[in-house]
Structure 1
Amino acid sequence: MGSLQLQSIRKAFGTHEVLKGIDLEVADGEFVIFVGPSGCGKSTLLRVIAGLEDATSGSVRIDGAEVVNTPPAKRGIAMVFQSYALYPHLTVKDNMGLGLKQAGTDKAEIETRVAKASAMLSLDPYLARRPAELSGGQRQRVAIGRAIVREPKLFLFDEPLSNLDAALRVQTRLEIAGLHRRLKATMIYVTHDQVEAMTLADKIVVLNAGAVEQVGSPMELYNRPANIFVAGFIGSPQMNFIPAERLGDSSAKTIGIRPEHIALSRDSGEWKGKVIHVEHLGADTIVYLETEQTGLLTVRLFGEHAYAPDDIVFATPDRAHLHRFDASDRAIVTER
């Protein structure tokens, strides 16, 4: 079991309040990801759950038991950090089993758990090596293995892929996803990378300035953002925002449309504009254009398209995918 309940979690450093009353429920076995811009409080919240930071006020319950005054080692959690934090003089095997050894676990049990985690993470060929003899991806797998052998109630990941190059990030992301499916464990993961969030999470928690903006599945946040902040943070390229008055809509302040929900034509369409820049990405073509009605507009087209700067084009939004926001930047919910 590894459920988590946070109630009214506040954290202040002096007069600066970093967490402003966080409420959250995480079910046993869920993969939950905290996302948000730098300084939003996501890593601080993870450290409060781990017990590495004391909450100024509020309740942290793991499997229903209050742990806000319980030291980290007794909370039943294991944490994987952005830095691998491996002991350079120890082998992979000894690094993975060190926590159990310090806890007084039987030697045979340590051997069994390390062997199981090593097989799960394909680390068997490296057990006798030291961290300096490993790649960054291998070292991160050792750090994850060290967490697995503890058989915790909660796995906590603090931006574990940030130090890896692009190819290794994809590979390690797949390994973490497979690990979650095999272990069926509760995982809480912090990242600033929305691609990681969208591809790994059962549930995403979007944080901004110490408060929760929205909680939901990846596609709930993509299709039904609660406000402009979430709409702009989830999705790449970012959603286009257009003052509603420029489109003749007096019932909203802002109209949003994602770049992938706009069609382009050289002949006719709703908004006439001029191309100012094109990004040819192979699988996608990103076109930036200026139109009189919308101002700067980003359009994402599937595949390769031969648009170039100064081309005159016509953009047409898919009106089934328009998002409307009120004067408080909250989504105006309409039946679709």
Structure 2
Amino acid sequence: MGSLQLTSIRKSFGTHEVLKGIDLDVKDGEFVIFVGPSGCGKSTLLRVIAGLEDATAGSVRIDGAEVVNTPPAKRGIAMVFQTYALYPHLTVKDNMGLGLKQAGEAKAVIEERVAKASTMLSLDEYLGRRPAELSGGQRQRVAIGRAIVREPKLFLFDEPLSNLDAALRVHMRLEIAALHRRLKATMIYVTHDQVEAMTLADKIVVLNAGAIEQIGSPMELYNRPANLFVAGFLGSPQMNFIEAGRMGETGATTMGIRPEHIGLSREAGTWKGRVEHVEHLGADTIVYIQTEQAGLVTVRLFGEHPYSADDIVFATPDATSMHRFDADGRAIGL
């Protein structure tokens, strides 16, 4: 219950092709996140799965059944949007149970499911309130609860945390992760936030310009990016990219090294340079260095370090953590 197979999914708006042949297999119970820059097609793909957009071509199968011509209400899915889409005149309890009521479910079934979801999401004390009396995080929990009571085959999340402040996003990430563990349900989640993708997903699908660049676990994509796009998209600060010729490397066009894989010293090292800027973040120190051999390099150091602009320093990359890319941007030796 809850598997999803996409085969050769294409979607065009007029002459503009938004999805360019998407193939994806999601297993029952997986938490899969679509991530990519704005305009890459991730929300459109989610809407095709939901039936809110018609695919121009291709197949959508849920639990083995073709649903391309099945209306959204019959697909066994529940969707949580960026906007909470709650009815302001209804209480929390009535908002959560409305979909079941409209579907003709018995009152006792509605009561039972709303009570179960409410307890799961710590909403019991708010059931009699209306949306205007709730915080943003509480409203989002109500929207998630409305999805839970439907007991769907697939949960679809379209950037559900983007309207929340930073601290609340962290809290809601923890709640959604815990919810997935309790429900053991299949979840498809769209975000532009790589931190959400890295911390929540069993499997990440990196999209770019309507096509899939790479699929894998968070650590697979972080440690073994398939190409320059994935290497540069995942990771903050971004991976350093250096012309291979500047480093005397042969057989590669571009070399890549993550900021945390570079050591820093005032005495000696591989690349000599001048500090351009330092970000003192407490837990980390980010140092930007203009080097003679590798150009501008970003170094991430654990903890606080007393570097300042204009300091002369030496950066040493960990050779075992170096990534190599060919002229087409593909990883060499992946």
Question: Residue in 1 aligned with 2:123?
Answer: 123
Is residue 27 from structure 1 mapped to residue 22 from structure 2 by the alignment? no
Deviations 1:114-146 (A, max 9, x none): 000000000001000000000000000000000
1:264-285 Cα offsets, whole Å, 9 max, x none, are 0000000000000000000000
What is the alpha-carbon distance in structure 2 between the residues aligned to residue 320 and residue 106 of structure 1? Answer: 62
> AA paired with 2:96?
M
* Residue of structure 1 in register with 2:318 after alignment: 318
Write the letter of the residue equivalent to 2:206.
V
Post-superposition Cα deviations, 1:3-60, rounded to whole Å, max 9, x if no partner, equal 0000000000000000000000000000000000000000000000000000000000
Is 2:205 the partner of 1:182? no
Alignment of 1:80-95 (within 5 A): 80-95=80-95
CA distance in 2, matches of 1:206, 1:294: 28
Structure-2 residue corresponding to 1:255:
255
Q: Secondary structure of 1:6's partner?
A: strand
Match of 1:52 in 2: 52
* Distance in structure 2 (CA, Å) of the matches to 1:148 and 1:239: 39
- Distance (whole Å) between structure 2 residues aligned to residue 232 and residue 23 of structure 1: 23
SS across alignment from 1:29: coil
SS in 1 for 2:137: helix
Q: Which stretches in structure 1 are left out of the alignment for 5+ residues?
A: none
Q: Match of 1:115, SS?
A: helix
Partner amino acid, structure 2, of 1:240 = N
Structure 1 distance, partners of 2:248, 2:125, is 65
Deviations 1:152-192 (A, max 9, x none): 00000000000000010000000000000000000000000
What pairs up with 1:64-143 in 2 under 5 angstroms? 64-143=64-143
Report the equivalent of 1:297.
Answer: 297
Percent of pairs with identical residues = 85
Q: CA deviation at 1:292?
A: 1.1
Could you list the runs of 5+ residues in structure 2 that have no partner in the other structure? none
Q: Which letter does structure 2 place at the counterpart of 1:193?
A: D
Q: Give me the CA root mean square deviation.
A: 0.4
2:275 corresponding residue in structure 1:
275
What residue in structure 1 maps to residue 146 of structure 2? 146
* Cross-structure match for 1:168: 168
Cα distance in 2 for partners of 1:167, 1:249 equals 44
TM-fit CA distance, 1:252: 0.2
Within 1, Cα distance between the matches of 2:248 and 2:312?
Answer: 23
Letter in 2 for 1:190: V
Amino acid in the other structure paired with 1:183: L
Corresponding letter in the other structure for 1:307: Y
Distance (whole Å) between structure 2 residues aligned to residue 279 and residue 235 of structure 1: 17
The residue type paired with residue 35 of structure 2 is V
1 CA distance for matches of 2:126 and 2:166? 23
* Deviation readout 1:188-232 (Å, 9 max, x if unpaired): 000000000000000000000000000000000000000000000
After TM superposition, list the pairs within 5 Å mapping 1:195-274 onto structure 2.
195-274=195-274
Give CA deviations for 1:93-113 in whole Å, capped at 9, x if unaligned.
Answer: 000000000000000000000
Tell me the amino acid that sits aligned with residue 121 of structure 2.
L
What is the TM-score with the length of structure 2 in the denominator? 1.00
**Aligned equivalents of 2:34, 2:176: Cα separation in 1:** 16
Which SS does the other structure have where 2:143 is aligned? helix
For 1:63, the equivalent position in structure 2 comes to 63
CA distance in 1 between counterparts of 2:279 and 2:7 reads 45
